Structure 1
């Protein structure tokens, strides 16, 4: 695996989405969204079967072997950016907790360097990769999952999945939860907004032809074939993504008691910006 200064990219923290940076979202079709859980984000390196190592991008120790409690089986020469997410299933006394590994992005799959592929193609390869590795009968393994990805044009669907629920360790107080496709739920800590089309290009959809097109905002040129310089590689997605942190005081659900603290970005301000873009 060639280094080519990629360590700096891996260590890069996502820029915070705030009222002051909201203007950076200019075209909805150029972004995808992903809800993040409460676990740490780090990289997993597969060296074959259970020889799996992790790196949190910050510690002095570069790579550490996963402990016995975190049994993950990965093919050799696989490098993933992941988040461990604590999920809950069921209600009341029948509720139980388990850990899932959500794959944020992939750099190498079985030795195949996919960093230069578009976000959509990386996701497509990851879907097949996760499906091939899934072993539902192996309860001793932590399963890999693909988090739901939403286009910014469908961002309302994320808020529709947010509910207030009483879970374990919540002291009988309802907490903000996100419901997954599988029916499980977890406590979200925010939403990552991934720029999947590189500027100066934006992607649109032609009502007359029914086809997607790419528009260059600098020279005002439109093309129907995806330009090579519009592809957001793994590096581009990491460097240009925004993260909206749902900390205390940020109201994203009507039943939350937060009052929308001054200086914080809540759902109302966020959706006002989205509606303005749609009206342009």
Structure 2
């Protein structure tokens, strides 16, 4: 029991530190009228392209897809966290601490997931309003849960990619951009997954967003509950798989840095 409470305290403290990092970068004004407004404009832009197709279904398809992609984009910012920890000199302190550095690293970036869930939910309702799609009370209450799950699986993939860039700090922005752009391209945001060759479809099956987005569309479209739940379970499974890979890669990366004595070097 004491061990569990200790881990919980570390988790909460690490999460609070992460949010303090965010507060040092943004004020509520700069975040709302800078970053969030940029996300709204991005989703409106891609959704407006759907108007060229001339069908309401296509417009809604792109509105839902690009809104959910926001959760993915923000959650994957955690990819840059290992490099930032090295640059600040805090990664070495986490490794030297008696508590698992994996726990503190994962918890310090949780603000990416929380903000991503809030942003994607907010963007979803704004875009639905702009394009005149009605949103029922049930949808309004449950959409944040879908966004949270999509964001969580994306966060888990971000942990894995962050472990890789820990060994190659110069690639952090390349890894971030390739990760979320690949998900946006192949996982059903603007075109169905079935549009791509079978090899790409198989890859999309193990990427975040694919199953969660399908489940969200099934929910909004009033399709059978079994289809909705199945998509959610698959998205959860993808997230668990990426988290397992991420923990293993992170331990491997940090162990290598310790052997070479380079863990404290600035990126």
TM-score, normalising length: structure 1: 0.25
Bigger relative contact order (CA 8 A; separation at least 6): 2
TM-score, normalising length: structure 2: 0.26
Higher helix share: 2
Higher strand share: 1
